[in-house]
Structure formats: C-alpha cells, structure tokens
Structure 1
Amino acid sequence: MLLATGLEKSYGDLSVLKGIDISIERGEIVSIVGASGAGKSTLLHILGTLDTPDKGKVVIHNKDVFSQSSRSLASFRNKSIGFVFQFHNLLPEFTALENVMIPGLIASGDERKIRDRARSLLDMLGLKDRVEHKPSELSGGEQQRVAVARAMINAPDLILADEPSGNLDSKNAVDLHNLFFQLRKDIGQTFVIVTHNEQLANMSDRKIELKDGRIKSDALR
C-alpha cells in the first residue's frame, strides 16, 4: 500500500534521514521507535506528505505522491491520510462532533452525510454521549478518541500517529492502544505509529527502529 525508497532529508548542515526504505501493507500496525533525534517524526511527516524529502520517493497505491501539484497533494493528503498527534490539536471553540467533521467539510463532502458519519464514528469510539461537548469538557482520553475519529472521517487508507499516547495516563494509553487494534480488526485500518511507549511498540505487527537517520532493525513481532 505504501512504499518509500531512498528517503533523505537534511535541515541545513544537519542530516536527519540518510536513506530510508519502508514498505507498509494494508491492515498493518507498524511502530517506529528510536532515541530522540533519530529521525522518527521527520520520517512520519514525509510519509504523511507534511514535509518533502530531499531525495527519494513515497508511493501510496501506486501514486508517486510528490509528483503532484501542491494543490493536488493537499487534496490527496486530506482524503487518503489521517493524522493523530500527541496533543490532540482539537479546536477549542468547536464541539467534538464539529471537530470530527472538519476534514470532511474541507474535502467538500455532503454536510449531512459528514455529520452522520461523524456521529457514527464517535458512537463506535464510545463517545455517543459526548458529541456536543467541547474539548475542555472532555478527559484527555476522550479528546484523543475524538482526534482518532477526526482522522477517520474521510475513510483514509492510512492513519499516521505521532506519540498518540504520550500525553495520556497509563489506563487511557492502554485503552487507546487497544482501540487501534480493534479498528484494524473491524475495518482493516492501517496505522504507522511513532512512539516511545514500549508496550505499544511490542504490540505492533512490526517494530522499525531508527538510529542516526537509518533503519537499525525492522522486525516482525
């Protein structure tokens, strides 16, 4: 589903990625681990087309994503890739339902259908009674579930998560990890997750370890 080859990235004189090759199959849950500064988030941002490599390609469903115009790339990203970040990034003035709907509205979808899908996702993620609550009225675990629903609203091929449980207590972290695996079981969702959480990394189908901008190991669990 995803194939990245020869990825290199530097910022000034700092070489962050030094030739990364990765393939991801549909329905896999892959964790990316490594020390701070190893290049994990940079790699995730390039796989998600939020940043561009200096060299190399990212191909998703046989499409060379960086060969598109910037406008086409933005549309592709919104429809094909979902993102979950450590600090939720929910808009405080909007309800849970409205936050989930935003990527669908950006994609110019039918508002009624988007609203219905957002409600369905929040229900599936155990938030049926919280749809009209604003982020400040939700627990950290609930906010992160809203963020997961938002990532799923356009039925993306791939969800990329950057330290998704890094801001959660241990119980909510376990609940979130189990949610990822339930979503893979129920709908075949594919996840690539940057994490320092060893429990989540060891639950994954594969654990890719980066060191100094290179892949140190890529092991099936």
Structure 2
Amino acid sequence: MSLLKTTALRRQYGELPVLKGIDLAVEPGEVVSIVGASGAGKTTLLQILGTLDRPDSGELHIAGENVFALNDRQLARFRNEQIGFVFQFNNLLPEFTALENVCLPGYIAKKDEKAVRQRAESLLTTLGLQHRLNHLPSQMSGGEQQRAAVARALINEPAIVFADEPSGNLDSHNAEELHQLFFQLRDEFGQTFIIVTHNEALAALADRTVTIRDGVII
C-alpha cells in the first residue's frame, strides 16, 4: 500500500488553473524529487501534499488517512504528528537555540518533555550538531541551520517529510552535504522524502523524479 496517494488533484486561483488533475503514488522509504519550470505548479502541489492548502477537488491519502476529510483542527494535529517540513530558508526561530527549535513540534504535540528533549539531542548529534545544541541560529552556519531544520522536521517521527528547495540557499559544498543527508536518513530511519528542487544534482540522486509541466505530471 502506498504511503502517499493522490487522485485527480485540481487547484485553481481565480480563473487560473494551476493543478489540472494530479495522480501520484509514493512508497514508504522512497525519495522522490519534483521538478519543473517556474510556474509549473510544483509549490502548489507541495503545499497541498503537505496539507497547508486544500485542493478544489480530488483526494489525498497519507498513511491510510483521507486527509481532506478531516476538519481543520484534526488536520492540524495530523500535520504536526505525521508530516515534517524543510524549507529553503530553514524558518528557525531566531530567539531559540537549536535544541529548543527542534523540540518545539514535540511540545506542540504535547509529548513528554524529557523524551522530546532526548530525541532532539539524539537527532542533532546524528546530524553532526552536538556542539551546537545551545547555539542560536545566528551563531550557526547556513548548513548547520538547515541540518537543525531537518532535525526539527524529524522530531515527531513523521510518516513523510516535504522539502521545498532545501538547498536553494546553500553553497555547493553544504548543498551536497544536505543532499547526502536525506539518503542517510532514508537508509537509517526508513524516512520518506518528497523534495521540490531546481537542483539537477539532487533530482538525479532521488529514487524517482516527477516532472510537472503546465499543472500535470508528464
């Protein structure tokens, strides 16, 4: 059974159709890249797959849940527990340390604080940031900030992680390290990733590349 499956997803803004019937299936432990020209619908699709936006029609199932049958409160809880996000600009809160940033989704989920902190420390150590636990984002390099953002995405052991241009703000060295990290996490934890990227090297590393053109998968 697919971990993620969409059926005929459609989305338009005003008179402009952006997604024109997207059918997609992703298996557990798969790393899938989504590519396409600017304006093709990649970000809109990622926002819908990540439940940040609702489609005009069509269905999305994640981990066996028909997610858009949930009300907004149920959907927010599902998102917190089952979905991780990595954004281009890391979105770490500047007033919190790396450890505190990583812990936040776990606290929001009302998990045991000690267990959340232990998992956050373990994740940051796995990602090579054991010496940055108590550093603010401004005291970390761009690559370190993005690895902290990856740890935050993983804190609640999500079914799937969505990444939107995750290496777009990094130099080539840090981008390569981040790309390899996704596959390390897949191998170690069986983590599933869907990654929107313009980076051809990252797209080529993925198990499968999905190309969107004019709102459809080709």
Number of the residue aligned with 2:188: 186
Query: Map of 1:25-36 to 2, 5 A cutoff?
Result: 25-36=27-38
How much does 1:62 deviate? 1.8
Please, what TM-score do these two structures have when normalized by structure 1? Answer: 0.97
Residue 145 of structure 1 aligns with an amino acid whose one-letter code is R
User: Superposed, which structure 2 residues align to 1:23-172 within 5 Å?
Assistant: 23-172=25-174
Moved segments of 4+, more than 2 Å: none
- Match of 1:175, SS? helix
Amino acid at match of 2:115: K
Secondary structure, aligned partner of 2:177 = helix
Give the superposition deviation at 1:37.
Answer: 0.3
Q: How many residues align?
A: 216
**CA distance in structure 2 between the aligned counterparts of 1:139 and 1:15, rounded to whole angstroms:** 40
Tell me the equivalent position of 1:19: 21
Q: Which amino acid is the alignment partner of residue 106 of structure 2? A: G
Give the deviation of 1:169 after TM superposition. Answer: 0.2
Conserved? CA contact 2:9–2:56, under 8 Å:
yes
Identical positions, percent: 63
Question: How far apart are the structure 2 equivalents of 1:34 and 1:44?
Answer: 13
Task: Give, in whole Å, the separation in 2 of the partners of 1:125 and 1:106.
Answer: 23
Distance 1:93 1:61 in 2: 34
- Opposite residue 13 of structure 1, the aligned amino acid is E
CA distance in 1, matches of 2:146, 2:182: 12
- Name whichever of 57-66 and 150-159 sits farther off: 57-66
Match of residue 195 from structure 1: 197
Deviation at 1:128, TM superposition (A): 0.3
State the secondary structure of the residue aligned to 2:153: helix
Q: Which runs of 5+ in 1 are unaligned?
A: 217-221
Structure 2 Cα separation of the partners of residues 182 and 161 of structure 1: 15
Following superposition, the deviation at residue 97 of structure 1 comes to 0.2
Partner AA of 2:111 in structure 1: G
- Contact 2:63–2:159 (Cα < 8 Å) also in 1: no
